[in-house]
Amino acid sequence: MSGHEARTRTNTKGDFAMEPGRDEKDRRLDEHRVPLDDLNMTTDQGARVDDTDNALRAGTRGPTLMEDFHFREKITRFDHERIPERVVHARGAGAYGIFELYEPLGDLTTAAFLNDTSARTPTFVRFSTVAGSRGSADTVRDVRGFATKFYTTQGNFDIVGNNFPVFFIQDGIKFPDFVHAVKPEPHNEIPQAQSAHDTFWDFVHLQPESLHMVMWLMSDRAIPRSYRMMQGFGVHTFRLVNASGQGTFVKWHWRPVLGTYSLVWDEVLRIQGNDPDYNRRDLWEAIERGAYPEYELCVQLVPESREHDFDFDLLDATKIIPEEEVPLRPIGKMTLNRNPQNFFAETEQVAFHTANVVPGIDFTNDPLLQARNFSYLDTQLLRLAGPNFPQIPINRPIAEVRNDQRDGFHQHLIHGSRTSYAPNSISGGCPAAVDGYRHYQEKVDGSKIRKRSPSFEDHYSQATLFWNSMADWERRHIVAAYLFELGHVERKHIKEAVVDHLGKIHPDLGAQVAQGLGLPAPAGTQVHTKSSPALSMTGQPHSAATRKIAFLMGDGADAAAVTALRRALEGQGAICEVVAPAEGSVGGVPVDRQLSAANSVVYDAVVASDGAALGAMGRARFFVLEAFRHHKPIGAVGSGRQLVEAAHLPNDVGVIVGDDIAQEFGQAVAGHRFYERDVSSVPA
């Protein structure tokens, strides 16, 4: 069933229960769903309304009357529609899914959903940017949130992760400082959703533990092509616990089946104007189309006996465990297969929490994780107005909830019990605390001290590892990102201090950024030469599936050639759209978008057909040139060659012209971009 059908079905009254394949969470939401049907309008109290266009007044030109309860209720409800946005990760997009396990992990954990391969565990995922407010653009340079709620039979388990495997700080007590630094500056609330300003870089140079994460932020990982093509990481080291109480350290990884791909910087700046909802729309449309995003859940496992075998501390969230040292083990797959029906009710009101764990999954003493285990519950109390937010439909577990917690604003449950305390004899001792979550028995012994472990002191080695592992094009993009960001910093001492740190990460990086900023190259430092190939985005799985291709067609276009190429690409799962100077059809082929309403930046590739007419149009030439500048495959069939010639492309890397280009062009689309193409002479 396609996502669209699923949505339509759930909008229709009555047929849910009969529908096979629906998961438990989906079924339980039914009682909260308001179907689209033929009911007449009522007030919140259920009284029928006969006019919602005119307030009650004393005479047609007279004052509005207090007595108009419908008017007052309608306006009051409107006045109170907004809730505080998330203090970070305010802008997001959500989707429902299903998690399926590959093999039982009984030797590692007692978690039921990690032991039962027949279980289809419902999930809800919210992707987000971090710094911007709710209305900011999707394609900003930022970390992306990747938060997953598993509705397991033992209660909710949340992996509240990001698309980078490390974080800016080591100790949660620095989080307010970091967030204040990256958010818009306090005096004028500028800039929105950007790190390119003085306070962020001031923080970075004074808090060098952020340097490794900032390398990721300056890389193209910070501008993902799609939420569907982005990795996710739990970041911290967590712990799995088996039936004998034995612990194993674990790092969570989500690996997108379509591979990890990014946009390019110049492109994202233009997408922000063309389609600020670019990533949100992409996720929504893919699910509606039935192209369900899939991610493998992988784990890195470290036996407790190996805790101190690394040259970094497993409790330090600014460090990765290189995949070459501890390989990824795929344990299951999540498929996102359903869009929410109401953004506010589901995506906005969902509340994640790192401390939502189930038996068999536990924490470590990572000081960042420890702080998060406090913060998420606290933040929901404000954002969702009180302690009963777990009763909001999206947050309710599918496991039964029983306890003596009571009352508070917006209590939805009617507790029938005559007691709300334990122990009690009146209610037979119920609810009884037996056979529940048991914390891992870790021996703790230490003096109270405000100090970090010396094992947290190295802030450079893994930033160097990241730089060493990049392909040439990735390094070029990283240098360009530092130049853009530091180019927006006003204070010279901040730029100098950052460049000094960059020299310690790698002399080449320091020298290149210094040169662009007109600063002296930092003093050379001896750095290690180790690399981790898994950190580069080269070598991703190739697929043309869900890639968007614009067919630029003019009046004399060769419709047969276009149709044949289109069929071949659609056969690989690509999405083809015809762009032409006017709506209607060209040579019998229906036009999807008129040229003046289309822009190359929202497509992955461009095919030109009939260059004679289009070659004379500046907008069509620009369309091709801009796609070329962003390293996208350019194809031409029939007279499309003339448009490509008219665009005056400086070289032909990734420009595929001919009568039978289907195979070569399909491969080019699957390969994403021609980063080796020199675009330095293309006007911006």
Question: Which of residues 113 and 227 has its CB atom nearest to ligand HDE in the complex?
Answer: 227
Cβ-based nearer residue to ligand HDE, 181 or 562 = 181
Cβ contact 258:126 at 8 Å = no
The per-residue DSSP string of 233-260 comes to: E--S-EEEE-TT--EEEEEEEEEETT--
Tell me which of 3, 155, 161, 256 binds ligand HDE, using CB under 6 A: 161
Kindly state whether residue 394 participates in binding ligand HDE, applying the rule CB under 6 A: no
Which residue from 22, 70, 126, 333 is in contact with ligand HDE, where contact means CB under 6 A? 126
Please count the residues of this chain forming the interface with ligand HDE, following the rule CB under 6 A.
27
Q: Which of 156, 162, 388, 599 is catalytic?
A: 162
Residue 222 in the binding site for ligand HDE (CB under 6 A): no
> Which one of 89, 477, 501, 631 is the catalytic residue?
89
Beta carbon nearer to ligand HDE, 88 or 586: 88
Q: Is 147 in the site for ligand HDE (CB under 6 A)?
A: yes
Closest by CA position to 353, among listed 599, 553, 179, 147:
147
Cβ proximity of 586 and 553 under 8 Å:
yes
In sequence order, the β-bridge partners of residue 589 are 586
Q: Is 375 in the site for ligand HDE (CB under 6 A)?
A: yes
The reply on whether position 283 binds ligand HDE by CB under 6 A is no
CB of 361 to ligand HDE, least distance (A): 15
Task: In whole angstroms, give the CA distance from residue 498 to residue 500.
Answer: 5
The residues near 485 (Cβ < 8 Å, ≥ 6 apart) are 141, 195, 196, 201, 218
Is residue 361 close enough to count as binding ligand HDE by CB under 6 A? no
Beta strands in 307-386 (DSSP E): 329-338, 361-362
Helices (H), 470-554: 472-487, 492-505, 507-517
Mark 570-609 with x for binding to ligand HDE (rule: CB under 6 A) and - for no binding. Answer: ----------------------------------------
| 419 within 8 A of 429, measured Cβ to Cβ | no
The three-state secondary structure class of 454 is: helix
Q: Which is nearer to ligand HDE, 91 or 205 (CB)?
A: 91
| Residue sitting closest to ligand HDE (CB) | 145
Which listed residue (98, 182, 235, 562) binds ligand HDE by CB under 6 A?
235
Under rule CB under 6 A, residue 321 binds ligand HDE: no
Closest CB to ligand HDE among residues 264, 384: 384
Q: Verify binding: residue 145, ligand HDE, rule CB under 6 A.
A: yes
Cite the DSSP H helix spans in 153-234. 175-182, 198-206, 211-218
When asked if residue 152 is in the footprint of ligand HDE (CB under 6 A), the reply is no
Helix (H, G, I), strand (E, B) or coil at 178: helix
CB of 389 to ligand HDE, least distance (A): 10
Stretch that binds ligand HDE, among 11-19, 250-258, 350-358, 642-650 (CB under 6 A): 350-358
Cβ at position 238, least distance to ligand HDE in Å? 11
Q: Does 373 bind ligand HDE (CB under 6 A)?
A: no
Q: How far apart are CA 535 and CA 137, in angstroms?
A: 27
- In angstroms, rounded to a whole number, what is the distance separating the alpha carbons of residues 635 and 617? 18
DSSP 151: E
- Listed in sequence order, the residues at least 6 apart from 605 whose beta carbon sits closer than 8 Å to its beta carbon are 547, 548, 549, 550, 627, 632, 633, 634, 635, 665, 668, 669
Q: In angstroms, what is the minimal distance from the CB of 347 to ligand HDE?
A: 8
Binding mask 53-92 for ligand HDE (x = CB under 6 A): ---------------------------------xxxx--x
Map tokens 């930033």 to a residue: 463
Residue 162 annotated in active site: yes
Binding residues for heme: 86, 126, 175, 372, 376, 383
* Placement of tokens 């790092």 in the chain: 251
CB of residue 91 vs ligand HDE: minimum separation in angstroms?
A: 10
Identify the residue among 196, 257, 328, 371 touching ligand HDE (CB under 6 A): 371
Class of residue 476 by CB neighbours under 10 A (exposed 0-12, middle 13-18, buried 19+): middle
With contact defined as beta carbons under 8 Å apart, do 69 and 45 qualify? no
What gap in Å lies between CA 216 and CA 168, rounded to an integer? Answer: 10
Query: Interface with ligand HDE includes 25 (CB under 6 A)?
Result: no
d(CA 521, CA 496): 10
If binding is defined by CB under 6 A, does position 227 make contact with ligand HDE? no
In the complex, least distance from residue 161 CB atom to ligand HDE, rounded to whole angstroms? 5
Quick one: 317 or 601, whose CB is closer to ligand HDE? 317
Q: What is the x/- site pattern for ligand HDE, positions 236-275, by CB under 6 A? A: ----------------------------------------
Does 162 participate in binding ligand HDE (rule CB under 6 A)?
A: yes
114 touches ligand HDE (CB under 6 A): no
Q: How far apart are CA 156 and CA 356, in angstroms?
A: 6
Report strand pairing: 120-129 vs 144-152.
antiparallel
Instruction: Give yes or no for residue 352 binding ligand HDE (CB under 6 A).
Output: yes
Examine residue 160 and tell whether it contacts ligand HDE (CB under 6 A): yes
Q: Of 332, 275, 346, nearest to 126 (Cα)?
A: 346
Q: Which is nearer to ligand HDE, 362 or 558 (CB)?
A: 362
Q: Minimum Å distance from CB 134 to ligand HDE?
A: 12
Query: Which one, 375 or 572, has the nearer CB to ligand HDE?
Result: 375
The reply to whether 340 sits near ligand HDE by the rule CB under 6 A is no
Stretch binding ligand HDE (CB under 6 A), from 260-268, 338-346, 364-372, 598-606: 364-372
Please give the sequence-ordered ranges of beta strands (E in DSSP) within 271-420, or none if there are none: 294-303, 329-338, 361-362
Note whether 172 binds ligand HDE by CB under 6 A: yes
Neighbouring residues of 628: CB distance < 8 A, sequence distance ≥ 6: 634, 647, 649, 654, 655, 677, 679, 682
Q: Which of 631, 638, 630 is nearest to 551 (CA)?
A: 638
Closer to ligand HDE by Cβ: residue 171 or 592:
171
Residues marked as catalytic: 89, 162
Q: Which residues contact ligand HDE by CB under 6 A?
A: 86-89, 92, 126, 128, 145, 147, 160-162, 167, 172, 175, 235, 317, 350-352, 368, 371-372, 375-376, 379-380
